[in-house]
Amino acid sequence: MVDITNKNTTLRTAVAQAVVKVSKPETIAAIKNDTVPKGNVFAMSKAAGLLGVKRTPDILPDCHPLPIEFTGVEYKINGLEITVLFTVKTIYKTGVEVEAMHGASVVALNMYDMLKPIDKGIEIHNIKLLHKKGGKSDFKDTFRKDITAAVVVCSDTISAGHKEEKAGKAIIKKLEECDVKVLEYVIIPDEKDTIQEKAKSYQKQGLDLVIYTGGTGLSGRDVTPEALLPILDRRIPGIEEAIRNYGQQRMPFSMLSRSVAGTLGDTLVLALPGSTNGAKESMDAIFPAVLHSFRILKGARHD
């Protein structure tokens, strides 16, 4: 199956349809009057759909098992056609489009099975996804496309040439995937004055985003938070919480990181862990959603 461990959990919704076409008005009348010999067609088919949607990953090998947290079934009669509308919701890392289409299919098949003794001309048509919501594609159009950034690696060891730099490069890779233009990439020692000077300089240059990696741990030389906090105009606790929560779900030491997020003027400043995995996971935790902040900083509404 596709690896979804790096995805964020969001509310996912999908609506699918199936159209059951009977061959004579008497069949529709029997459904409405509840005189179909096998029982109440709508109620039993709904039950079949509720059972079927939960078994989707048992039938389709690439579907992830996921919690089905809401299922709705509606019927619309138009002449000899009955449209089944099947809605599925979950709060999870991947969508429920296939589950919704599978549920609609099962409802339609159960209707066919119940109606075939009284109507030999039943057909099933137009099983398809009507719409979905909750994936990253729902939010990408809200982001600005002209965002500029600087990536600053804080490390005595790397700046002295004793260790290869990887965390900053992982950050740049993620930024480029999000269409953020990286104007500068530098490595500096763990010095408070230098860290502060970089942030102030980039803010004066009009950069939208400055990301530091390194110096957020608990050693005596980890001073990135101490350097940045005094100069930030406002902190953004939600970003910091999202980073730590995402990391803690993947390894137990993330709670020891002192990641920082805040604004310096209209520039967003982030301080992320210095390990490659820590930096990468921090970026996965908040990107691309954090890019919405640049519209808000310019006065746009959240909606």
The active-site residue, picked from 3, 58, 62, 113, is 113
Q: Which two tokens stand for residue 20?
A: 């059951």
Torsional sign, CA 113, 114, 115, 116: positive
Strand partners, 151: 185, 211
Report the alpha-carbon distance of residue 82 to residue 108 in Å, rounded.
9
Instruction: Report the alpha-carbon distance of residue 256 to residue 151 in Å, rounded.
Output: 22
Is there a catalytic annotation at residue 113? yes
Could you tell me if residue 242 is left (phi over 0), alpha (psi between -120 and 50 degrees) or otherwise beta? Answer: alpha
| String of DSSP letters for the chain | ----TTSPPEEEEEEEEEEEE-SSHHHHHHHHHT--TT--HHHHHHHHHHHHHHTHHHHSTTSPP----EEEEEEEEETTEEEEEEEEEEEESS--HHHHHHHHHHHHHHHHHHHTTT-TT-EEEEEEEEEEE-SGGGTGGGS-S--EEEEEEE-HHHHTTSS---HHHHHHHHHHHTT-EEEEEEEE-S-HHHHHHHHHHHHHHT-SEEEEES--SSSTT--HHHHHTTT-SEE-HHHHHHHHHHHHTT-TTGGG---EEEEETTEEEEEE-SSHHHHHHHHHHHTTGGGHHHHHHTT----
Q: Would you please indicate which residues are annotated as catalytic (active-site) residues?
A: 113
